[in-house]
Amino acid sequence: EVQLVQSGAEVKQPGESLKISCKGSGDTFTDYWIGWVRQMPGKGLEWMGLIYPRDSDTRYSPSFEGQVIISVDKSISTAYLQWRRVKASDTSIYYCARQVGNSWTEVHFDSWGQGTLVTVSS
Amino acid sequence: QSVLTQPPSVSTAPGQKVTISCSGSGSNIGSNYVSWYQQLPGTAPKLLIYDNNKRPSGIPDRFSGSKSGTSATLGITGLQTGDEADYYCATWDSSLRGGVFGGGTKLSVL
């Protein structure tokens, strides 16, 4: 079993850059895709994208491509979600989760981080 | 608005049974596996069902999943107040080329 521990809450002003993290421990971090999921205040879950730590292969939802950057540093078992310039509409909780389906085209997240609250406000 | 449609809310009494539906199309539920997640208030989602009807270890058999055509259903029996949560279905959408979640269903156990 893997444990995913995310970085702490962030408060940013519009236009600032931001990078949040998701550190894995336990099972081999590089063997499974890591996904990111957004939850806007009081709303449902949205699939943002996936990264495969072994080779950094990355897939984005069309809704988020160009808006965020997903990356990984496999040497420290950590995945990242990054914004070049945040907007007020980026205010959300962001979860990382391990994807264990037989294919990356299967939504099957068996372990989740605790979530990172991002607040963007002037 | 999600491509997977769930009822916004369902409610029932303790000890009873409930089903939560998730309706999609041929490009998502109709051709891909469905998973279900439980999100208790203020916590991260938790996997309940994967591959349409399989339960991870530790998930009681009170929870079940099924799929028929372009719809999936989560069933919960012997409802407890601790089951009050938001429930989400999820699958891959081959047309959108991304994962999709349903809008979520709030379960109340009154």
pLDDT of residue A101: 79
The answer to whether the Cβ–Cβ distance between A45 and B104 falls below 8 Å is yes
Q: Which residues of B touch A49 (CB under 8 A)?
A: 98
Residue in chain A nearest B91 by alpha carbon: A107
Give the bridge partners for B107, in sequence order.
Answer: B10, B85
pLDDT of residue B36: 98
Contact A54, A30 (CB under 8 A): yes
CA-based nearest residue to B54, from B26, B74, B79: B74
Q: Which residues are within 8 A (CB) of A80 and not within 5 positions of it... i.e. 6 or more apart?
A: A19, A20, A21, A22, A69, A70, A71, A72, A73
Rounded Cα distance, A71 and A62, in Å: 17
Residues 5-64, chain A: which have Cβ within 8 Å of B? Answer: 35, 37, 44-47, 49, 59-63
Q: pLDDT, tens digit, for every residue of A21-57?
A: 999 987 788 899 999 999 999 999 999 999 999 999 9
Q: pLDDT, tens digit, for every residue of B37-71?
A: 999 999 999 999 999 999 999 999 999 999 999 99
pLDDT of residue A28: 82
The answer to whether the Cβ–Cβ distance between A95 and B44 falls below 8 Å is yes
pLDDT of residue A1: 73
Q: Residue A103 — pLDDT band, cuts 50, 70, 90?
A: confident
Contact B85, B74 (CB under 8 A): no
What is the token pair recorded at A66? 């160009």
CA-based nearest residue to B33, from A36, A103, A63: A103
Q: Residue A102 — pLDDT band, cuts 50, 70, 90?
A: confident
**pLDDT above 90 for A5:** yes
Buried b / exposed e over B17-28, threshold 16 CB at 10 Å, is ebebebbbbebb
CA-based nearest residue to B38, from B48, B28, B29: B48
- 3 state DSSP class of B30: helix
pLDDT of residue B7: 98
Residue in chain B nearest A65 by alpha carbon: B98
Q: pLDDT, tens digit, for every residue of A62-101?
A: 999 999 999 999 999 999 999 999 999 999 999 999 999 7
Distance from CA of B44 to the nearest CA of A (A): 6
Nearest to B44 among A60, A101, A115 (CB): A115
Q: pLDDT, tens digit, for every residue of B18-35?
A: 999 999 999 999 999 999
